[in-house]
Structure 1
Amino acid sequence: MNSDLYKAAAKGKIEQFEKLATDEFRSIVTHKKNTVLHVNIIASYTQNKEGESVSTKFVERILEMCPSLLLQVNAKGDAPLHAAAKCGHAAVVEALIEFAKKQPHQELESGVKSTARHMLGMKNDEENTALHEAVQSGSLDVVEILLKADPDFPYSANGSGETPLYLAAARGHKKISAEILQKCPLAAHEGPNGKTALHAAVCSGSLGVIKLLLDKKEGLTRERDQHGWTPLHYAAYIGRLLDSIRLLKADKSAALIADKDRQMTALHLAAGQGNVGVVYIILDYCPECCELVDDRGWNVLHFAMVSFYRSDLKDLVGEYREVKNLIFEKDVKGNTPFHVLAAVCPHPGNAGYDIVPWKIAEGYYQAVNKQNISVEHINRYRFPELEKEIEKLSEADGSGNYPDGVVKINKVKKRVIYSYWKDLDEDVIGMEKASEYHLVVAALIATVTFAAAFTLPGGYKGDTEDDPNKGTAILSKNVAFQAFVISDAIAMVLSLSAVFVHFILSLKLFKKLIFLFVFALCFTLVAMAAMIVAFVTGTYAMLATPSLWLAIVTCIIGMTFFLLVIFMFCMVISKAEVISKAKEVISKAKEEEFED
């Protein structure tokens, strides 16, 4: 295709093509075998990205001159309808279909006599039909036109095994999914690797699409992919709380289905990934799934010991009797859940007493596995074999059915799970670092205020040797000066108090007394405010008599410190209100999801 014809096709100028013979149109193609129709459709998409209407006159006129271009494909196997669907040109798609319907019935290569049906079923090199392309581009208008053209057309999967409904669900296109389900109630829902559209909707996180699919195809809750995963498995592994609620409301028994690779249920996956909320939801809907174990004999508590925080473990054992009864259950190697906990977080001493009642803790501490290794032994001397097993389960290969690993080791809990004081150490470490900076600020304030006390504004009396008030402050009877002296004394005393507290906190005996750190912080903040007051009052005392306006301006500038503090507090309060409102919205959304 020469450059003049290409530009004419791109701009929709029909004049240069009216002189051509019908046979010439088929041979006028680009190096990618795009015909003048392809060029016009693609170019008009580029020029009208803002959603402007696209003229169909050029397309209609070219088809009148050469009807065979309707089905001519380019190098990628795209017919003009594919190109229009990709670009989301609803008007062009409708024009192509209307032209196809006017063509006389004839026996085509596909065996279909209707040109319109043949065109709708044409597949490109990726085996996508025009509907596949429209769904991928997210064009609802085009989807509506294509479905209306032939509601009974049996759209099959493309080369990747994806049906149009699966593509819509995978992309979270709620309106497109609704359109397909409404116009084609029997639309195929299959996807690659045995997945269904419901699997795809869960992975995309589209609660609206999930609701649509469950309303029309409720049986999909028990459909399993090639690994044996149901949609609930994916919701549990990813941590989709609301999706899990919707799936369990539709079918509680899905929580009892185990996968093919490791015999893991959705409860095992949620516990292994540390998705506490999903674990609680599954237990609320289907408590009997606690009885199930994976191929190693691990129950939900084995997995929770690896990934849960100490407080979450305590709540899980305390709130669910079914879970509490699993404390002494052993896997195929005789390891109880607390063997796993000790392997993840080895720590000497009476560990774990704050997770379960004392009497239970006494029992588990001496429990032994098939190798006669107790929890106490692991706490004191470790257990490399079990540690390596857990570490291997946590390895993320980035592919397959466990892209983030079978379990997710809680690194924070690994250091601090056993002890309240260990939890406190995390705060103490942060406190020690902050204390260093606070000490510098407090010492600076103390130095400045101490120096100001002996460099008084206005100077001292000392002109006459016989003056009984020699050496006293000249402005001692000035009210502003008196305020300066008082505020300066307050700032110095409080800052020195803060320095003393930080010194005390540096001693190992007192490092865990966080309330002392809070006191020091309050002392420093008040000392800052007192130092500003001292500056303002001292400046006013010196400048008020010779230049009142300068004294006032200087005071106003100094007081802007308090405006800044007030502004910051307002911002914090405002942010807290926004977070509170957001939580209310989320709470209402959850309540709505629980309503039928």
Structure 2
Amino acid sequence: MLICTRLCIEVISVLKGKYSEFAHLQPQLTPKRNTVLHIAAQFGQLACVEWILDSHSCSPLLQQPNLKGDTPLHLAAREGHRAVVEALLDAKALHLEIESGVGTDKAMLRMTNKEKDTALHEAVRYHHSKVVKLLIEADPHFIYGANSTGYTPLYMAAEREYEDLVEIIIDTSPSSDHKGIEGRTALHAAVLCRHQAMTKKILGWKPMLIKEVDENGWSPLHCAAYMRDAAITKQLLDESSQDKSVIYLGIKNSNRTALHIASYNGCMDIVKLLLSHAPDCCEQVDENGNNVFHFAMMKKHPSHFGSELLIKDGLRVRGLVNEKDAQGDTPLHLLASFGVNDVDFILDETVDKMERNKEKLNFSDNFISSRNKFSWGTLSALECPQLYHLHERSKEYLRRPFRSSSSQQAQVDDRFEGFKKYSRLPFRPSSLQHVIRKDDSKYGGKIDDDEEEDDKIISSVKKASETHLIVATLTATVTFAAGFTLPGGYSDTDGMAILTKKASFKAFVVSDTIALTFSQPLPSPCFTCWA
């Protein structure tokens, strides 16, 4: 610190010796059009800044922008030099009082650079809390707008998880703008960061932000469900306990609610929270008619989420288990289409296994045509529910402490004999709809999409095989022609080879004969693999 002070004193002495009047310094600019005040402010040289500010002729430099539109205040705030920022603000007030007597002008605080950043934006971006507080206190009633990226100072602080800056801005300037990018608010940013303290602070400041949505119709509650954060979801719901309309808000263009998102992600805690605050929200569907059960079947979960919803009688969702979407699919149809291995849901007696969609297909038909892989448990449950229950009981029995007993051993043997018997049963769909559909005159002999795709594959394989056969024939013809053609040609008189008496020719004939004798025919080409 002492070295920096001495260096600054030497710089000031040099400036004083070289420039008798400060007016000579004003035209001096760097390649980035920085003035001497820009440089002194950027590097935090308070003594230099004060010496420059002592001259009344420096007043134009306070608001003079550089090539990027930054004023000296921008640079000082960006670097966090609080003393320099304070000196610049005091100097501006002093010069204006002397020149016009109208009091402190806030123009320098509100000036923006080419990115539309004010000095406050710069201080927030680089987390200079003391500078932030100083700038806001200098102009507490000014509402700072968004920069070119769409950031307001408050949203910028929330998105960067600067909890202290969020508190400073809210406490010092209660009328601050809370908007951010893509129409989000500072509450959106706090929720997406999963920051409970900031969420609580912003909710206490403006509770109505919970109902504000972004450009895509996402509310903070949608974001909490998407982030699978039950704690923040509870915060939002407790704050909106008097107005539950936020629970029913749907996303733009899809009408999906927070409950749909939580169900899709398999978050039972959030589902229970939402239904406990608004039990009838489970009746809402998206634009395709999908309810909470449909979304539970659109994604594979580590646990059996669909069956868990059925078990929770207090959730009052059992009546939705057989409802159809816009295509006529029930949740069980989607289970088969998406390959969800939820055996308990399939075997639940309230689930209708024979319901058909608009294409006259039931759950088993969807299961057959699905390209997803199912676990052994799901397959065995479909083949024979008794087999599945037998296997589950046998596993439970084997987990118990084993006691040597002839009767127990016989019981175990009987169970596994039954297991072997049922495991040989072939799986058949509950109907032959997917087979007779192409012969049904009602559908005009229309073939399923999968069969059409198979026909295309077979046609392409045939075309490829024909091409490969032609190439193989030409290759064989050239090979044998080369093998029987002798070098040098034949004599016109006796028809013998011209090079018969040459030793090298004899060696060639022997080698060629051996190679032809020991060569094996090429295996038949696999056109399917080549294709």
TM-score range, shorter chain: 0.5 to 0.7
Cross-structure match for 1:59: 49
Unaligned runs of 5+ in 2: 1-5, 383-418, 421-531
Shift of 1:102: 1.2
Shift of 1:169: 1.5
Pairwise CA distance, 1:113? 6.2
Selected match of 2:365 from 344, 364, 377: 377
Q: How many residues align?
A: 371
Query: CA, structure 1 residues 114+33, in 2 after alignment: closer, same or farther (shift >3 Å)?
Result: farther
**Do residues 218 (structure 1) and 207 (structure 2) align?**
yes
Taking the aligned partners of 1:116 and 1:91, their CA distance within structure 2 comes to: 19
The 3-state SS of whatever aligns with 1:306 is: coil
Distance 1:12 1:74, change over 3 A: farther
Match of 2:327 in 1: 333
Q: Report if aligned partners of 2:327, 2:358 keep a CA contact under 8 Å in 1.
A: yes
Matched, 1:231 2:220: yes
Match of 1:128 among 89, 110, 117: 117
Deviations 1:50-93 (A, max 9, x none): xxxxx522211122232322212111111111111111112211
CA separation of 1:416 and 1:182: change in aligned 2, threshold 3 A: farther
**Change in 2 beyond 3 A, CA 1:290/1:376:** same
Moved over 4 A (4+): 8-12, 105-108, 112-116, 413-417, 419-422
Kindly report which structure 2 residues correspond to 1:98-109, keeping only aligned pairs within 5 A, or say none.
98-105=90-97
Counterparts of residues 503-542 of structure 1 (less than 5 Å): none
Which one of the candidate residues 355, 358, 378 is aligned to 1:418? 378
Deviations 1:501-555 (A, max 9, x none): xxxxxxx99xxxxxxxxxxxxxxxxxxxxxxxxxxxxxxxxxxxxxxxxxxxxxx
> Is the 2:32–2:66 contact (alpha carbons within 8 Å) kept by the matching residues of 1?
yes
Change (3 A) 1:247 1:224: same
TM-aligned CA distance change 1:352 to 1:118, over 3 Å: closer
TM-fit CA distance, 1:266: 1.1
Q: 1:293 to 1:10 in 2, by over 3 A?
A: farther
- If you compute each CA radius of gyration, which structure gives the higher value, 1 or 2? 2
> Distance between the aligned counterparts of 1:421 and 1:12, measured in 2?
89
What is the CA–CA distance in structure 2 between the aligned matches of 1:35 and 1:11, rounded to whole Å?
19
Secondary structure of residue in 2 paired with 1:27: coil
- Partner residue, 1:585: none
Residue 492 of structure 2 is matched in structure 1 by none
Mapping 1:433-452, distance limit 5 Å: none
Corresponding residue number in structure 1 for 2:494? none
Partner of 1:148: 137
Give the equivalent residue in structure 2 for 1:258.
Answer: 250
Counterpart selection for 2:302 from 302, 309, 320: 309
Secondary structure of the equivalent of 1:13? helix
Alignment partner of 1:92 is 2:84:
yes
Of the three residues 166, 182, 185, the one matched with 1:177 is: 166
Q: 2:11 aligns with which of 13, 17, 28?
A: 13
SS of the aligned residue for 1:247 comes to helix
Contact 2:8 2:47 in 1 (8 A): no
Say whether 1:204 aligns with 2:183: no
**Which of residues 365, 368, 372 in structure 1 aligns to 2:356?**
368
* CA spacing shift, 1:103–1:327, aligned 2, 3 Å: same
- In structure 2, C-alpha distance between the alignment counterparts of 1:204 and 1:63, rounded to whole Å: 43
Considering Cα pairs closer than 8 Å and 6+ residues apart, tell me whether 1 or 2 has the greater RCO. Answer: 1
Equivalence map 1:489-568=2 (5 Å)? none
Q: Is 1:161 aligned with 2:150?
A: yes
Supply the distance in 2 between the matched residues of 1:146 and 1:249 (Cα, whole angstroms).
Answer: 35
Provide the TM-score with structure 1 as the length reference: 0.57
The CA deviation at 1:107 is 9.8
Gap change, CA 1:278 and 1:131, over 3 Å in 2: same
CA positional deviation for 1:106: 9.0
Q: Which amino acid is the alignment partner of residue 324 of structure 1?
A: R
Partner residue, 1:286: 278
Tell me what 2:317 maps to. 323
Indicate which of 284, 297, 320 corresponds to 2:289.
297
Residue by residue over 1:303-331, the C-alpha shift from the partner in whole angstroms, topping out at 9 and shown as x without a partner, is 11122334333222211443322110110
Conserved in 2, the CA contact under 8 Å of 1:97 and 1:116? no
TM-score (norm 2): 0.64
Contact 1:366–1:374 (8 Å) recurs in 2? yes
Q: 1:234 and 1:317 mapped to 2: Cα distance? A: 26
Distance 1:236 1:11, change over 3 A: farther
Give 1:42's aligned residue.
42
8 Å contact kept, 1:10–1:43: no
Please tell me whether the aligned partners of residues 40 and 46 of structure 2 are also in contact (alpha carbons under 8 angstroms).
no
Q: Contact 2:222 / 2:257 at 8 angstroms: preserved in 1?
A: yes
1:170 is displaced (CA, Å) by 1.4
Q: Percent of pairs identical after alignment?
A: 36
Contact 1:306 1:344 in 2 (8 A): yes
Task: For 1:128, give the aligned amino acid.
Answer: D
Residues 106 and 420 of structure 1, relative CA distance in 2, 3 Å threshold: farther
Which residue in 2 is equivalent to 1:359?
349
Q: CA deviation at 1:12?
A: 7.9
